[in-house]
Structure 1
Amino acid sequence: MNRLLGCALGTALLAAGAVQAQEKPLVGIVSISANEANNARYIKGAEKAAAELGWQVSVIDAAGSADQANAAIQNFAQRDAHAIVDMVFPFSSIGAGLEAAKAKDIPVVTWGGGLGSSVAATNGSGGPMAVPVIEKMIADMGGKGSLLALTYRTGEVCRNREVALDEIVAKHPEITVTKNEVRIPGYFEDGGQYANAWLASHPVGDGSLAIWGCWDDPAIGAIGSLRSQGRDDVKVYGVNGNAQALENIRNGHMDATAWQDSFTEGYNMVKMLKDVADAGGNWQPKAAEVPAVLVTHDNVEQFLKDHPEAVQ
C-alpha cells in the first residue's frame, strides 16, 4: 500500500512539475546558425536572462533559410510564445512570421535583423561593428592592392557589413575587390575554396593582399588555404571575435577582428523583453547596441586578460 501511495505521489509530483514547466512563459529563438560560435554565445546569454526571469527558452535552427525562419516564427506564434527572438534574418525577409506574431500580440525582437515592420527592438547591428576592422585593413594595405571579400547576403548583419566595406573601399580606387558569397552551412569550406581560387591569380609579390570575412569563420576557412600553401604575404581580417579568430590572431595567422559581446547582447535583449511586455502599446521600438572591441596583434594578450570568457 505504501509503495502504491509513493508511486501515486511521485506521479502527481511529476505531473505538477510538467504543468509548471508548461506554464513558464516561452521565449522562442530562431537562429540563422545555432552552432556558429557567435550565435551560440548569444543563445547562452538569452538563456541566462530567461532563467533569471523564470522563463523557458526554445531554439529553432533555421540553417540559413528565410523560409525556415518564417515557419519557425509561425510555429512559436501557434505555441503562444511570450516573445520571439529573430537572430540575423532581416525583418524584410520574415514578413510572414512577423504577421503571425503580430496577430497574437507577440513581440518580436531581432539580433542584427534591424528595426522595421513590427519589430520591437534590435541589437548586434552589423555595419558599425565592422567599420574599425575595415579601416584598419585599409590602413594596413596602404590604401592599395587586392582584396578578397567573403560575403553572405541572406543575413542582415553581413549585408550591412558589406555596405560598410563598399563605402570605405570606394574612397580608395587603387584597391581591387573580388567578392565571393559563402553558404550557411558550408562557410568554412567555401572560404577555403574561394581563397584557393583567388590565390592562384594573386601570387607572392603581387602587391598588397588581404582577405576579409563578413564574420570570422569564412576568413578562418581561408587561413587553412593560406597555411597549406605556405602563404604568409596575405593579411586576414574578420568580425565577431570568436575563440578561433582570437587564437589565430595570437598565433599570427589573422590580423584583426572586432569582438562582439554576443553573450551580453542576448542577455540584454531578453531582459528588455520584460520591458516591452510591461509597456504594451506604449513601447517605442529601439536599438540597444553593445559596442565591439577591435582586437589586433598589439592588444590581443591584454584583451584576453580582460575578457577570459571570450575563449571559453
Structure 2
Amino acid sequence: MKRILGGAVALVAAVALAACSSGATPGETTGDDGEKTLGIVAYIGNNAINQQAIRGATTVAEENGWTVKVTDTQGSADEANATMSSYANQGVDGILVLVFASTAIGQGLQAAKAAGVPVISWGGGEADGIVATTSNEAVGKASADALVEEMGDEGDLLALTFHPGKLCLDHQNEFDAAVAETELDITYNEVVVPGQQQSATNFTAAWLTNHPEGQGNYGIWTCWDEPMEGITAALKQAGRTDVKTFSTNGSAPGILDVQSGEVTSVVWQPSEDEGAALMETLIEAIEAGDSWEPEVLKIDGVVVDASNVDDFIAEHPDAVQ
C-alpha cells in the first residue's frame, strides 16, 4: 500500500545534532540504555538532508524510548552492507538505511532478515525485508517541471547526475521524462562522491567554455543540491550570470542561494518529516508483526524560487538553520 503524506505535515521538533539530541557523533549511541535500539546507516554523515532525515527519525525514536546508533558509510555500499550485518549481530530492533538503493544492500538485508530485524529505507525503494520506504518521485517531478517551465523548449543544459544514489536516480528519471518532451540539448556528467562539490566545479567550468556568454539559453541541473555549491563557484569564477540553475532537496545553503539570486530554483524536500514518518511506521510495523504489509511513504516537496523564497523561509525558519 502507499501512504500519501501531504506537504503540510508539521516539521518535527529540532534536536541539537543530526545524529542525536545528546550530541553523539556517528557511531556513538545516543541517550540512555532503552528497551529498543535503532541502527542508522547514513549515506554521507555530514550531508544536510541526511542529517535532517536522521534528526526526524531520532526524535521519534527517543520519544518512544529507543536509543539510536549512527554509522557514516561515506557513500560506500560495501560499508553499508557491513554496517547492517554488524547491527543485526548486535541485536538492534530496527535499521534505517539512507539513500542506498535497496538493490545494493542485499547482503545487509539478508543479515537483517536472518536476525529478524525490520529495515526502513529513506529513498532506497522496495525490497524483501524492507517494511517501509519513501518515494522520491514527487520531488524529482517538481524539479523537472520547474526547470522546463523556466527554460522553455529550446536551449542547452548541463545535467549532473549520480547513479549510485537512489534518490538521485529517481530524480533523474523524472528529469529525463520531462526534458524528453522538449528540444533541449542535454550534456550529462556523473559527479564523484566524496568530492561532489569539486567534481561539479570541474564539470561546470569545462561546460562553460563550450557555451559562451550571450550565445544561448543555458541551464544547469543537479540531482541534489550539494553539487550546486560547486556549480555556483564555477559560475562566479567565470563571471557568468546568464546560466539558470536548478536542484533538489533544499538544504539550508541551497535555499539561501535562491534568496541571494545565485540559484534559480530548488525543490525543498521535507527530509525531517520523512525520517520521522519512517520511524513511526517502523514502530507500527513491529506492533503489527506478521500482518504488516510494506508501505511507500510520499511527502510532497516545495519548489522554492525568487517568487516565494522569502515567504518560504518565514514559514519554515528551521529549513535555513
Taking structure 2 as the reference length, the TM-score comes to: 0.89
Q: Secondary structure at the match of 2:299?
A: coil
What does residue 293 of structure 1 align with? 302
Deviations 1:101-145 (A, max 9, x none): 00011100100001122211011x223212122112112112111
- Superposition pairs for residues 216-231 of structure 1, below 5 Å? 216-231=225-240
Q: How many residues align?
A: 292
What does residue 143 of structure 2 align with? 133
| Cα offset, 1:207, TM superposition | 1.1
Deviations 1:154-213 (A, max 9, x none): 1111111111111111111x2111111112211111111110010011111221100001
| Cα offset, 1:253, TM superposition | 0.5
Q: Secondary structure at the match of 1:85?
A: strand
Tell me if the contact between 1:150 and 1:219 (Cα under 8 Å) persists in the aligned partners.
Answer: no
Which of 75, 78, 84 aligns to 1:64? It is: 75
What does residue 171 of structure 1 align with? 181
1:202 partner letter: H
Deviations 1:262-310 (A, max 9, x none): 1111112112111010011110001122211111100000001111110
Which whole-Å CA distance do the structure 2 matches of 1:23 and 1:223 have between them?
A: 45
Which of 34, 52, 67 aligns to 2:63? It is: 52
Instruction: Report % sequence identity.
Output: 37
What does residue 40 of structure 1 align with? 51
What does residue 203 of structure 2 align with? 194
Deviates more, 1:21-30 or 1:301-310: 21-30
1:59 partner letter: V
Q: Please identify runs of 4+ aligned residues in structure 1 that moved more than 3 A.
A: 20-24
What does residue 145 of structure 1 align with? 155
Which of 94, 98, 101 aligns to 1:90? It is: 101
What does residue 237 of structure 1 align with? 246
Which whole-Å CA distance do the structure 2 matches of 1:117 and 1:198 have between them?
A: 42
Which whole-Å CA distance do the structure 2 matches of 1:48 and 1:149 have between them?
A: 35
Which whole-Å CA distance do the structure 2 matches of 1:187 and 1:257 have between them?
A: 17
Deviates more, 1:128-137 or 1:56-65: 128-137
Tell me if the contact between 2:34 and 2:66 (Cα under 8 Å) persists in the aligned partners.
Answer: no
Tell me if the contact between 1:98 and 1:118 (Cα under 8 Å) persists in the aligned partners.
Answer: yes
Deviates more, 1:127-136 or 1:193-202: 127-136
2:278 partner letter: M
Larger radius of gyration: 1
* Unmatched tracts of structure 1, length 5 or more: 1-17
What does residue 275 of structure 2 align with? 266
1:204 partner letter: E
Q: Secondary structure at the match of 1:239?
A: strand
1:80 partner letter: G
Does structure 1 residue 158 correspond to structure 2 residue 160? no
Tell me if the contact between 1:188 and 1:217 (Cα under 8 Å) persists in the aligned partners.
Answer: yes
Asked which structure has the greater RCO (Cα within 8 Å, sep 6+), the reply is 2
Tell me if the contact between 2:34 and 2:65 (Cα under 8 Å) persists in the aligned partners.
Answer: no
Q: Larger helix proportion, structure 1 or 2?
A: 1
1:307 partner letter: H
Q: Secondary structure at the match of 1:289?
A: strand
Does structure 1 residue 183 correspond to structure 2 residue 211? no
- Superposition pairs for residues 249-264 of structure 1, below 5 Å? 249-264=258-273
| Cα offset, 1:229, TM superposition | 1.1
Deviations 1:64-87 (A, max 9, x none): 111111001001000011000010
Taking structure 1 as the reference length, the TM-score comes to: 0.91
Which whole-Å CA distance do the structure 1 matches of 2:94 and 2:132 have between them?
A: 12
Which whole-Å CA distance do the structure 2 matches of 1:205 and 1:45 have between them?
A: 45
Tell me if the contact between 1:33 and 1:184 (Cα under 8 Å) persists in the aligned partners.
Answer: no
Pairwise CA RMSD of aligned residues?
1.3
Which whole-Å CA distance do the structure 2 matches of 1:152 and 1:145 have between them?
A: 23
1:78 partner letter: N
Which whole-Å CA distance do the structure 1 matches of 2:36 and 2:181 have between them?
A: 50
Q: Secondary structure at the match of 1:113?
A: coil
Tell me if the contact between 1:145 and 1:207 (Cα under 8 Å) persists in the aligned partners.
Answer: yes
